[in-house]
Amino acid sequence: MAKVGEAELKNQIKNNDFSNVYMIYGEEAYLKDFYVAKLKSKLVEPAFADFNFHQYDGKKVSLSEILNDADMMPMMAQYSFLLVNDYPLDKSKDDVERLKAYFEDINPNAILVFLYSSIEVDTKKNSKWKTIEGLFAKAGTVVNLERRTDGELAKLIVASAKKRGCVIDLANAKYMVTVVGNDITTVFNELEKLCAFVGEGEITRKIIDDLAVKCLQARVYDLSKFILAGNSDGAYEVLRVLFAQKEEPISILAVISSCYIDMYRVKCAKASGEGEGSISSAFNYKGREWLIKNAVRDSKNLSLENLRGAIDVLAKTDELFKSTSIDKNLLLEETVMKLLMLRNG
């Protein structure tokens, strides 16, 4: 078989063209759970689930036990379905060899799925995972379910709203992603709430602003907007709310820094005669081009010198976060003050 994408996995399930082994990993938790549930619903007859569905915590079971179960024949069904959660195959050469031996003599009546949710599978930086992925790809199907781009997610919002009986246009769907973030579970939860509010009506930008719960990134962008406008009262009010909501200071700092880095890249590109497209390709903004447009808008009245000074302030704060025991909330307040002084200076 091979390593496939989401579309190929979807077609496998639709056409009942199953592999005997799957390795499923990636950043998008919703999609991983969704497709595992699809596989289970297709392969496991509820009346015989106690006999033919086996689920394992990879931290509490041996691979030998799993493979012994995989060799057993299903009861009153074509397949048994074995779901293995977060088995640390990268920790044992012996386990990899056991798995390799099983793959050479697979039980054709067993579907064995290794699902990775809490263990990070990095096949680019970790040669062990690269080898393991290769074994699964040769014997069955490997799929890396990555986060969808913001554009793809916006189209999904439009289609999902239609299924729920309400309407949202693509522009507002894209705006909704910038407000609630790109986690699919969160997006669907917020969409359900907005659809319930409008009934068969239309979800407008105002309704999104009034009712949708903003993600951390969106709230910190609000903070950045106040800083760039020189509005100290607004900036400190947003910061106060973030502190009250127990947001991690390091996460807040990271988003503020990303805003300034976006603006710096835009200014440097403009100074060298490059357009927005070059920034997108050079720094992988694919699906997030709105960040560049925001940076173009927000950096109009800022000089490169001002931006370099702000990035230097943020870098020094990051260093203090990691090297001192000073209260991080206090450090953030001081950082906002310094950024406001740079803006007003």
**Is the pLDDT confidence value at 345 over 70?**
no
Is 109 a residue whose pLDDT tops 80? Answer: yes
The answer to whether residues 237 and 165 belong to one domain is no
Count, residues in the chain: 345
Q: Which domain holds residue 185?
A: 150-211
Whether 344 has a pLDDT exceeding 80, the answer reads no
Same domain, 161 and 236: no
> CA-CA distance, 122 to 137, in Å (whole number)?
15
Residue 323 Cα to chain centre, angstroms: 29
CATH number at residue 264: 1.20.272.10
Residues 31 and 97 reside in one and the same domain: yes
**d(C-alpha 311, C-alpha 304), whole Å:** 10
pTM of this prediction exceeds 0.75: no
Predicted confidence at residue 287, as pLDDT, reads 67
Bigger pLDDT: 278 vs 69: 69
Residue 229: CA atoms inside 13 Å, Cβ hemisphere, count?
12
Looking at the predicted structure, is the pLDDT value of residue 172 above 80? yes
Residue 140 DSSP one-character state? S
| 37, 70: one domain | yes
Classify the phi-psi angles of 212: left when phi > 0, otherwise alpha if psi is within -120 to 50, otherwise beta: beta
CATH number of the domain enclosing 190 = 1.10.8.60
Note whether 288 and 316 are same-domain residues. yes
- Check whether residue 10 and residue 132 sit in a common domain: yes
As a whole number of angstroms, the distance between CA 276 and CA 6 comes to: 30
Sign of the torsion angle spanned by Cα atoms 182, 187, 190, 194 = positive
Rounded to 10 deg, the angle between the 216-228 and 289-298 helix axes is 20
Q: How confident is the model at residue 302 (pLDDT cuts 50, 70, 90)?
A: confident
Best CA proximity match to 190, nearest among 201, 179, 199: 179
